Chain A
Amino acid sequence: MDWLLIIVLLPLLAAAAVGFVPGSQLRTIRGITLGASGLALLGALIAFCSFKVGGGLQFETKWTWVESLGLHFHLAADGINIGIILMGAIVAFAAACCADDITHRMKEFHILLNLMIGGILGAFASMDLFFFYFFHELALVPTFIMIGVWGRGANRNYATYKITLYLSLGALLALIGLIGVYVQTGAESFSIPDLIAKVRETPIDEAAQQWIFPLLMFGFGILVSLWPFHTWAPLGYGAAPTATAMLHAGVLKKFGLYGLIRVAIPMAPAGAQNWLGVLAWLALANLLYCGLVAVRQKDLNQLIGNSSVAHMGFIFLGIASLNVIGLTGAVLVMIAHGLLAALAFGLSGHLYRQTGSLDMSRMGGLLRQMPLAGTALLMALLAGCGLPGFANFAGEVTIFFAAWLAGLKTITVIAAWSALVIGGLYMMRAIRNILHGPRGDDWAKASDVNPLIATALGLLLAALMVFGFAPGLLTKGIESEVTKIVRLAKPAADASEAQATEVAVR
């Protein structure tokens, strides 16, 4: 079965379907969105369960789109993206559940929401560079509009402009890099498998790699809020409607990281050798600096936003390690963080609806006031500071091992400090201010989550814990693919790493 095609098409068809429903039929509109994302989730689950580890590309759909340029509509899953697609589908469903806070111009919102979901799933399912980029933009544009029209707060306009310009800049830089890959390989195809096959025979000219890699690194990096291009993220998420923030922070943002792993490293390994050192330091800046900034935040969304930026540091660090452990850990954290960010923004969205403010100094005792939401938030914040049992921990600890193995020792030490202590500090402060202590005065009438949102949050939590208890479900597939990438990037890796282990044992 072409599960991926179904998964990607369902939300897009739902967008079209919503377009034909009169705007007054709110229930029908929500039903369509929920149904489509629910079915997509079901499809993703089936695909995930029937996925064969090490079986190469699966669930392929490949249609030629532009013959003369070698563009194909090519969807396929391997060990790396199957997990991300599942995560995306879960978050999409959860976002659809949490989208009921939008009542004004609801029809348009749901069209955009469905487009965004379709774009997100398509971006991660695409094996063709052009569609990879195309679907990302398809998801990005609704994001801008949703923040602009349905956003919140006084900073909305500025936030909309900032996020639009930043992300466009990042996407364009990456696009130039991708075009560079296409032009330089001479494969006359945008298909990633074709390109990889080609560079395996004849790598891209090293001088060109020195251009391609930084273009991709900074282009994709901007999309993922790499320091110092990160300030759009807390601002944008603070202004975004709940569902948008969940989808963007959770899934869409991972696109850049996915691109780094999927394209930048295998295509420009020589460039990577030169630039990954820089990336490692920038990753550290993400972790340490944004962690420190997060400590100072008074607004819950700003805190989640900054901590989410800080968490990106782990993933960058894993990528910068450029070994099997690190890349696997990076993908694992991508998935874990996706679920977590969606959870956190879903909850903050619920809180925002109660009083229209997320000022933490005015909260307090919400664990008593709203036990379900409070417990979920407690778990989310704990997962955010790396508690075992949640998937984040598995990924983060793996990345520490990888970074140490890669010889990034100073960075690992500071990163561990940032993660364990500073991360703990701001999360604990948040728990203390929001959930613990006497109840804030404004919150007397706040109500707990409704069953629909509770389902969404429960689903996210469950996924986090399933992957936390059994990360092997994901890592086996990831590892088998990542190994190929590492081998491509470091042809001598097998020998040298074995040697390293040998030395270590001696």
Chain B
Amino acid sequence: MGGQLQFIQLEVMVVALGLFVLLADLFLSESTRRSLGYIAAGALGLVFLLSFRGGYTDLADGEAFGGIYRLDGLALFFKRFFLLTAIFVLVFSVDFASRLRSGVSEYLAFILFALSGMMFVSSANDFSLLFVSIELITVTFYILVSFQRHRMHSLEAGVKYLILGAVSSAFLVYGIALVFGEAGSLKFDVIRDAHAGLLGSNVFLFGMLFVFAGLAFKIAAFPFQVWAPDVYQGAPTPTTTFLAVGSKAAGFVLLIRLFGSVVPELTEQWTGMLMVVAALTILYGNLCALPQRNLKRLLAYSGIANAGYLLMGIVAQSGDGTAAILYYLAGYLFTLVAAFMIINLVTRDGEDEDISYLAGLNKRSPFLAFTLALAAVSLAGIPPLAGFFGKFLLVKSVAAKAFGDAGYFALLAVAVFGVVVSIYYYFGIIRAIYWSKNAPVETPVTIAWPTRIVLGLCVAAILYLGLLPNKPINWANAAAKIEAVAR
């Protein structure tokens, strides 16, 4: 059993860290409590480094706990991804602490618990682990979203997420039940062998569709996207970041594992449905973002659109497609963290997150202005930034799947249309930063140095992923080599 525990050493460390934070809160004075977030972030950084340790990476491609926990390249990639996200979010939370009013340490701890859930999710090789870890994420997020109890928006967002999240969980669970009934097991390995014979069974299809709906909810894909704008807007901004990056990535790791590796034949059969979902998601997100003036809401809609682009990688059903998703998510992580952090800094003293707060930002802080513009350009998919290369890989993977098929062309056309529409509103952000008049606030923005480091890292990463993609692509390709995807 001890041998098995070392598979989950990172998760254990994270949970332990969470408990430590909760305990430390009791012994720390008000002033030092603020820096608890930095300590936790530093500790997570250590964990992140430990994930590269030979003793740990040697376990790769191993399974534990009767095969319900799998540590392969994909899992490893996502664990590191989530760790990085959480580090950034923790640093971010310290920035945000003053607006939380109470229970900062608990907030940090819940982030860590959600992180552990995400890390388990990336290794889930069984429906039971999938369910439990996903619920661990969701339930903690209910709390994280509604953490600003004094703000009506936060509470409202929490309730909406709670009810809709529970509905989606119910669908997920019901789907799992049906799949279990047909396949006779909750284990992915069993289902993988059995699923080809079950393609004719309506109960199985029903079940898988319910599972898909549960995951589509996580990534905010059409038609399960309605919650995202309200929740993103109402939640405390660090939560929003974590939700937009971490929770979405958790949905994708499961989609990749399930639809890429466990039931590839079914994915093939459902290509049409996936394409339609992807296309509608892109359209819905981008079109609704057009008239949007609240920045967090804008990024929520853009997040919906990005989920659509990412689904293209699932549609491609190839190692390349998976690698493209990973690449895109990595770029998305840095861009969104930067964007949300800056939005928070800029609207710190404001009522809401209206785009007009960006006016004059290039005078208030050229660094923030540049970083946010860079993030917007990257999200718009313009070279030489991370967002472009990710979209490039996604499009390439879809084109490679079937070039010349009208359906795929329609998807590509929608993607192009979506990108053009998105350029319009991202450009609006840049315009607001650089050449709009009547700035409501003109005082320079003060930035804490850890925030500065995080933003600097984001800029560097956005540029690195765009300019020198050679190594990252190799990493993504290696991580994407999971069973049955190599079709």
Do chains A and B stick together as partners?
yes
Q: Which residues of A contact B (CB under 8 A)?
A: 64-69, 133-134, 137-138, 141, 144-145, 148-149, 157, 160-161, 164-165, 168-169, 172-173, 175-176, 179-180, 182-184, 205, 207-208, 210-211
Among B6-14, B30-38, B132-140, B420-428, the stretch in contact with A:
B420-428
Task: Give the residue name and chain of the B residue nearest to A144 (CB).
Answer: B427
Give chain B interface residues in 401-460, CB to chain A under 8 Å: 403-404, 409, 412, 416, 419-420, 423-424, 427, 430-431, 434-435
A134 near B403 with CB under 8 A, answer no
Q: Which of B395, B412, B416 contacts A169 (CB 8 A)?
A: B416
Q: Are B423 and A168 in contact (CB under 8 A)?
A: yes
A66/B473 contact (C-beta < 8 A), A138-B383, A145-B434, A149-B435 known: yes
Closest chain A residue to B395 by CB distance?
A179
Residues of chain B lying within 8 A (CB to CB) of residue A64: 470
A177 and chain B: residue at smallest CB distance: B399
B39 at the interface (CB under 8 A from A): no
A182 to B399, CA, bound (A): 9
Contact with A along B308-340 (1 / 0, CB 8 A): 000000000000000000000000000000000
Report the bound CA distance from A96 to B203 in whole Å: 69
> Which residue of chain B has its CB nearest to the CB of A156?
B435
Report the Cα distance A471→B392, complex, angstroms: 40
A134 touches B400 (CB 8 A): no
Query: B residues within 8 A CB of A164?
Result: 423-424, 427
Chain A's closest residue to B434 (CB) is A149
Decide: A148 and B431 in contact? CB cutoff 8 A.
Answer: yes
A-side interface mostly: helix
Asked whether, in the complex, the Cβ of B419 is within 8 Å of the Cβ of A168, the reply is yes
A158 to nearest B CB, angstroms? Answer: 12
Determine if A175 and B403 form an interchain contact, defined as CB atoms under 8 angstroms apart: no
Q: Chain A residues with Cβ under 8 A from B424's Cβ?
A: 161, 164-165
B473 near A208 with CB under 8 A, answer: no
Q: Does B474 contact A (CB under 8 A)?
A: yes
The smallest beta-carbon distance between A162 and chain B, in angstroms, is 10
The dominant DSSP class at the B interface is: helix
Contact A134 B434 (CB under 8 A): no
A65 to B404, CA, bound (A): 28
Q: How far does the alpha carbon of A65 sit from the alpha carbon of B383 in the complex, in Å?
A: 15
Instruction: Write the nearest CB–CB distance from B238 to chain A, whole angstroms.
Output: 31
B345 sits at the interface (CB 8 A): no
Interface centre among A67, A179, A208 (most CB of B within 10 A): A179
A210-B434 Cα distance, complex, nearest whole Å: 43
* Residues of A contacting B419 in the complex (Cβ-Cβ under 8 angstroms): 168, 172
* Contact in complex: B434, A175 (CB < 8 Å): no
Q: Which residues of A lie under 8 Å from residue B469 when comparing CB positions?
A: 65-66
B91 interface contact, C-beta 8 A? no
- Tell yes or no: B377 within 8 A of A by CB: yes
A231 to B446, CA, bound (A): 45
In addition to A176-B399, A176-B416, A184-B403, 11 A-B residue pairs with Cβ atoms within 8 Å of each other are A66-B473, A67-B474, A68-B474, A68-B477, A69-B473, A148-B430, A149-B434, A165-B423, A168-B382, A172-B419, A211-B404
B45 within 8 A of A: no
Interchain Cβ contacts under 8 Å between A and B, 23 examples: A66-B470, A67-B474, A68-B470, A68-B474, A69-B473, A141-B382, A144-B427, A148-B430, A148-B431, A149-B435, A157-B431, A161-B427, A164-B424, A165-B424, A172-B416, A176-B412, A176-B416, A179-B392, A179-B395, A179-B399, A180-B403, A183-B403, A208-B403
| Chain B positions within 8 Å of A138 at CB level | 383-384
Q: B80 interface residue, CB < 8 Å from A?
A: no
Counting contact residues on chain B (CB < 8 A from A), the size range is 20 to 34
Task: Known contacts A141-B377, A172-B420; decide if A179 and B396 are in contact (CB<8 Å).
Answer: yes
Q: A141-B382, A176-B416, A183-B403 are in contact. Are A67 and B430 (CB under 8 A)?
A: no
Which B residue sits closest to A169, measured CB to CB?
A: B420
**What is the CA–CA distance of A184 and B216 in the complex, to the nearest angstrom?**
32
Question: CB-CB < 8 A to A66: which residues of B?
Answer: 469-470, 473
A137-B383, A169-B420 known; A211-B403 Cβ under 8 A: yes
Q: How far is the CA of A134 from the CA of B384 in the complex (A)?
A: 7
Taking the nearest CB of chain B, how far is it from the CB of A185, in angstroms? Answer: 11
Contact A165 B420 (CB under 8 A): yes
CA distance A65 to B471 in the complex (A): 10
Report the separation of the CA atoms of residues A263 and B434 in the bound assembly, to the nearest whole angstrom.
37
Residues in A with CB closer than 8 Å to B473 are 66, 68-69
Give bound CA distance, A173 to B417, whole Å: 10
Residues of A within 8 A of B400 (CB): 183
Q: Which residues of A contact B404 (CB under 8 A)?
A: 205, 207-208, 210-211
Query: How many angstroms from the CA of A83 to the CA of B132 in the assembled complex?
Result: 65
Assembly CA distance A145 to B426 (angstroms): 13
Residues of A within 8 A of B434 (CB): 145, 148-149
B368 to chain A, nearest CB (A): 16
A133 touches B383 (CB 8 A): yes
Set of chain A residues within 8 Å of B409, measured between Cβ atoms? 211
Closest to B477 in A: A68
Does B470 lie within 8 Å of A173, measured CB to CB? no
User: Which B residues, 252 to 266, have Cβ-Cβ distances below 8 Å to chain A?
Assistant: none
Q: Which residue of A has the minimal Cβ distance to B388?
A: A137
Known: A67-B470, A205-B404. A175 touches B395 (CB 8 A): yes
CA distance A141 to B430 in the complex (A): 12
Residues of B within 8 A of A207 (CB): 404
* Distance in angstroms between the alpha carbons of A441 and B404 in the assembled complex: 62
| B residues in contact with A184, CB < 8 Å | 403
Chain B 359-398 against A: per-residue CB contact (8 Å), 1 yes, 0 no?
A: 0000000000000000001000011100010001001100
- Please tell me if the beta carbons of A182 and B430 are within 8 angstroms of each other in the complex: no
Given A65-B470, A68-B477, A69-B473: A183 in contact with B396 (beta carbons within 8 A): yes
Return the chain A residue nearest B396 by Cβ: A179
Judging by beta carbons under 8 Å apart, are B435 and A148 in contact?
yes
Give Cα distance in the complex from A295 to B400, angstroms.
Answer: 47
Chain A proximity of B428: nearest CB distance (Å): 9
Q: Is the CB of B399 within 8 A of A183?
A: yes
Task: Report the Cα distance A138→B477, complex, angstroms.
Answer: 27
Q: Nearest-CB distance from B437 to chain A (Å)? A: 12
Closest A residue by C-beta to B419? A172
Q: Which of B404, B412, B434, B470 has the most CB of A within 10 A?
A: B404
What is the minimal beta-carbon distance from A202 to any residue of chain B, in angstroms? Answer: 15
Q: Which residues of B contact A145 (CB under 8 A)?
A: 430, 434
Query: Nearest A residue to B400 by beta-carbon distance?
Result: A183
Give chain B residues whose Cβ lies under 8 Å from the Cβ of A144.
427
Chain A min CB distance to B94 (Å): 31
Which 9 residue pairs across A and B have the least CB separation, nearest first?
A137-B383, A208-B404, A172-B416, A183-B400, A66-B470, A169-B420, A179-B399, A134-B383, A183-B399
**Alpha-carbon distance between A283 and B308 when the two chains are bound, in angstroms:** 37
CA distance in complex: A169, B419 (Å): 8
Q: How far is the CA of A137 from the CA of B467 in the complex (A)?
A: 13
Whether B399 pairs with A180 at a CB distance below 8 angstroms is yes
Q: B416 to chain A: which residues have CB within 8 Å? A: 169, 172-173, 176
Task: Tell whether, in the assembled complex, residue A168 and residue B420 are in contact, meaning their CB atoms are under 8 Å apart.
Answer: yes
How far apart are the CA atoms of A180 and B412 in the complex, in Å? 11
Residue among B382, B409, B434, B469 facing the most chain A CB atoms (10 A cut-off): B382
The answer on a CB contact under 8 Å between A182 and B427 is no
With a cutoff of 8 Å between Cβ atoms, the chain B residues found around residue A205 in the complex are 404
Question: In the complex, what distance in Å separates the CA atom of A144 from the CA atom of B434?
Answer: 12
Residue among B399, B403, B470, B474 facing the most chain A CB atoms (10 A cut-off): B403
Looking at the assembled complex, report how far the CB atom of B374 sits from the nearest CB atom of chain A, in whole angstroms: 11
Q: Which chain B residues border A157 with CB–CB below 8 Å? A: 431
Contacts of B435 in A (CB 8 A): 148-149
- Are A137 and B382 in touch, CB under 8 angstroms? yes
Q: A residues within 8 A CB of B431? A: 148, 157, 160
- Give the complex CA separation of A113 and B24 in angstroms: 54
Give the CA-CA distance A128 to B451 in the complex, in Å: 39
Closest Cβ neighbor of A66 among chain B residues:
B470
How far does the Cβ of B416 sit from chain A's closest Cβ, in whole Å?
4
Q: How far is the CA of A164 from the CA of B469 in the complex (A)?
A: 26
Chain B contacts of A134 at CB under 8 A? Answer: 383-384
Measured in the bound complex, the distance between the Cα atoms of B431 and A65 in whole Å is 33
